[in-house]
A and B are shown apart, each in its own frame.
Chain A
């Protein structure tokens, strides 16, 4: 491939509220530029994780290089970076943005500006990106592009009157988008001959190539044989291969120079040597200083992950290390539970992030996991002046030693059509929300502002929000810091023995209710055993709720003759298999899913 002039390169990403058509537009751009023939096109090319396709969401930022022949007769290279839309993955978005010069903002022609639209635009502006709006889904009967254009100008304050009106789904007006990428998104700047300065925006582990580092070259040039230095970790290595991103594949090339986006593989042995956000430079001629990198994001939700089969503990550690490589927001440390044995306390950005990691571990690494109820980080101030950041409820000190506790709060913005304001306000109050105000976007839509405890929104707030607004409400939040709260630890006792993995922290006002529901739920989950099992919820030594699982009374097959024997055997095997999936705590057997049951207390 010939050397590309810097002014023919466009590095950009697509940002949007979830479901506004970001990935579909990416697909269409790839298809129109002929990177893939339409026969090769699988819907949503960039969502290449099985999980992403299934759920129809983007989890990981993905990059692809596209060649476009513009109307001015010139050939351009587009580096498109797809970004996740869910609030949990804002971190990924911000990483991708750092590799771009501009962003396409996709807005749904019917739904208009949503909470995430705003959040993403502000993120892009923070990174000094030029934002180019596109109105999508104009083929919908309810599309109202004029209103949406006004809304973008009024609410966000960016020029939108020449925004292409498109339908990514049907392919209408995609050419206009391509042309505007050339005219509206600035080319990168940078000196090819300067010392190498490249930002790592992602990485992944490949069993053949080892660690693959995704980077944006800001200054200088990198090629095979270059001795590189990771500025933060100090690791040095020789470059084995450089290349760019085809759709779903890596295409090697001779060199990457200033302005380009591509990948590097090097003789890096340890996955920990490449940290996302670090700067790559030349070992012999290092650049003066590292690029700003990213703010390190801190996990907000914690839970315990344990291998169902204790012997798989090293496999789980290995899998977590590999996932962490391209998911820097995932944190973990070893812990031990009396009930569950050896495992890890893991930190996530949110519940969706937790679910995704859990599913990836199960699918990609073939692990069977037991997950404990998620919780947030509490601050515990002890009477002796000590301060603890509590991620595992079992580590809560004796109440007598606690002066007071604090819980994390968020500032939440909920965009909702006016007819649903009532139900949504009720929901926020149920979740201990403090009302902070309402802003009317138009006569029919409003932005509700609430201050909410994080632990009230990590479980099922999003689902509740959707169901109480018939799907119309959208939601975004940011961390506010900590506030003092009346919190208690709720312990669960099975057959009078405390099960550490079932303890959780809850606001004192809802403890009774939660304890009662938890006992009811566990009664349904725990199968009858040879003896009666009392289930108790307790705060300290005070039992606040109780249920009983009666002893097994009858489990007998009346008949078993010649024709039944194979069937009978299968039945017994199934029974035995079920037992294997149980956890023995004291002398009680608990099904693994019971440890997650606290999550689903609001189902009934």
Chain B
């Protein structure tokens, strides 16, 4: 891509690194904190937002995403403060998609009303399972009943774009209990469903129990529920797609399903390599092919902002080479079910995709891992199952 700015759109991500209690599988940058600490953090974040006024004057914000942690932990006053800072600083498109992540049990009617007033038009609720036993095992703070009351309240407050997050392959989960979760959720008719397969991340309590090697965990885990094996896990993924299709949810990414027109624009932006600016602790950005990430030490974050040392918030940065851009184009684009557009590749890089990846594409086609459909190249069903393998092939270096 040339350095000339063609795309003036900007997506914003705001990180709220707080939650009531850490879940057993969670490796996000988040944790519980006292009211004072939260207040100091929010004040610092508002300062950070204001610091961007000049730098991003040429951009129009197309999406905003408040993620965490549990952003719904913030008070109404704090939320209003954040949004007034945003609107003072950025030009936000009137049809912008503005999402917030929330956990049942942290949301009140007053908060929902505050969100509407602030312009939030999409809610993403972390449910994970409808089975209270499974919720307990995951270390969630809420029950299915808490969720239902939050969900109903949100509908009453006229939120018309709601996502529900679910996790499959929970230890001890059966195909039946998963399908029960799916059915119960689909009956509620949210506009969007994210169905992730559990990833046992290093550093989480789950990692100690379920570690990397399935073989060893089988030996250790005679008294704790077992992770579903690979075969069951794949059946779960396939059943999910089949079931949700019947309910008119289209799978548009490896783990994301939506009713037509309700795909998450913010997340699509990540896979389509739109510019995005991350605000807050540990937040990642990509602006004009430069990736940079904020530091993860919260006290230091607040301190630097209080001293007006905004530049030092960046801990890591990288200017993507043309090659790296192509690689990202491939491995991010293939996450979408429609695949990558050959035309878009040619348009962005000024080269035909076959001239760069011809041999790799041929091999993967022969291995039935990718398939051409009109002007797109997408993963096959088996290609999705082992997508890391497929994607790694596109790394040239």
Contacts and interface: CB of A to CB of B under 8 A. Distances in A.
Given A558-B196, A558-B255, 9 more contacts: A530-B369, A553-B386, A556-B197, A556-B384, A556-B388, A563-B13, A565-B328, A572-B391, A576-B392
Contacts of B254: 556-558
A557 B13 contact: no
A557 B367 CA distance: 20
Contacts of B328: 565, 569
A232 interface: no
Interface in A561-603: 561-563, 565-566, 568-569, 571-573, 575-576, 579
B22 interface: no
A83 B239 CA distance: 71
Contact of A565 (B282, B291, B388): B291
Contact of B199 (A558, A566, A572): A558
Interface of B: 13, 196-199, 230-231, 233-234, 254-255, 267, 270-271, 276, 278, 282-286, 291, 293, 316, 318, 324, 327-328, 331-332, 335, 367, 369, 384-389, 391-393, 395, 397
A516 to B, nearest CB: 19
B255 A563 contact: no
Contacts of A39: none
Contacts of B391: 572
B276 A554 contact: no
> Which one of B196, B284, B286 has the greatest number of beta carbons of chain A within 10 Å?
B284
A391 B99 CA distance: 70
In the A-B complex, the 8 residue pairs with the closest CB atoms = A558-B196, A553-B230, A575-B392, A572-B392, A563-B284, A555-B386, A555-B388, A576-B392
A576 to B, nearest CB: 5
A573 B230 contact: no
Contacts of B271: 560
A297 B384 CA distance: 59
Contacts of A575: 388-389, 392
Contacts of B367: 530
Interface of A: 530, 552-563, 565-566, 568-569, 571-573, 575-576, 579
A569 B331 contact: yes
A559 B283 contact: no
Contacts of A568: 331
Given A562-B270, A566-B318, A554 B196 contact: no
A566 B276 CA distance: 14
Contacts of A562: 13, 270, 276, 278, 284-286
A559 B253 CA distance: 10
A157 B64 CA distance: 91
A577 B220 CA distance: 31
B282 A573 contact: no
Nearest to B294: A563
9 contacts: A553-B230, A557-B388, A559-B255, A563-B278, A563-B282, A563-B283, A565-B332, A566-B284, A569-B324
A277 to B, nearest CB: 49
Contacts of A573: 392, 395, 397
Contacts of B393: 576
A563 B387 CA distance: 19
Contact of B395 (A556, A559, A576): A576
A553 to B, nearest CB: 4
A557 B390 CA distance: 12
Contact of B270 (A552, A554, A565, A571): A565
A552 B389 contact: yes
Contacts of B293: 563, 566
Contact of A554 (B233, B283, B327): B233
Given A553-B385, A557-B199, A557-B387, A572 B331 contact: yes
Contacts of A554: 230, 233-234, 385-386
Main SS of chain B's interface residues? mixed
A561 B282 CA distance: 14
A533 to B, nearest CB: 15
B258 to A, nearest CB: 16
Contacts of A576: 392-393, 395
B331 A556 contact: no
Given A560-B332, A565-B270, A569-B328, A555 B395 contact: no
A192 B291 CA distance: 76
Contacts of A579: 392
A187 B296 CA distance: 73
Contacts of A556: 197, 254, 384-388
B284 A555 contact: no
A555 B389 CA distance: 7
A74 to B, nearest CB: 68
Given A553-B231, A565-B332, A559 B199 contact: yes
A560 B388 CA distance: 12
B286 A565 contact: yes
> Which one of A556, A559, A569 has the greatest number of beta carbons of chain B within 10 Å?
A556
A576 B396 CA distance: 9
B197 A558 contact: yes
> Which one of B283, B316, B335 has the greatest number of beta carbons of chain A within 10 Å?
B335
B171 to A, nearest CB: 16
A558 B230 CA distance: 14
B270 A560 contact: yes
Contacts of B285: 562
B230 A572 contact: no
A580 to B, nearest CB: 10
Contacts of A553: 230-231, 234, 385-386
Contacts of B276: 562
Contacts of A571: 388
A571 B202 CA distance: 14
> Which one of A561, A562, A572 has the greatest number of beta carbons of chain B within 10 Å?
A562
A532 to B, nearest CB: 14
B196 A555 contact: no
Nearest to A559: B196
A33 B283 CA distance: 65
B332 to A, nearest CB: 7
Contacts of B199: 557-559
A48 B61 CA distance: 65
Contacts of A559: 196, 199, 255
A558 B283 CA distance: 20
A555 B387 contact: yes
Contacts of A555: 385-389
Contacts of B331: 568-569, 572
A430 to B, nearest CB: 29
A572 B386 contact: no
A575 B267 CA distance: 25
Nearest to A563: B284
B329 to A, nearest CB: 12
Contacts of B389: 530, 552, 555, 575
Nearest to A556: B387
A348 B271 CA distance: 56
Contacts of B13: 562-563
A565 B196 contact: no
Contacts of A560: 270-271, 332, 335
A561 B270 contact: yes
Nearest to A558: B196
B369 to A, nearest CB: 8
Contacts of B230: 553-554
A495 to B, nearest CB: 15
Nearest to B335: A560
A28 to B, nearest CB: 49
A230 B13 CA distance: 78
Nearest to B15: A563
A226 B315 CA distance: 66
A566 B331 CA distance: 12
A528 to B, nearest CB: 9
B274 to A, nearest CB: 10
Nearest to A557: B388
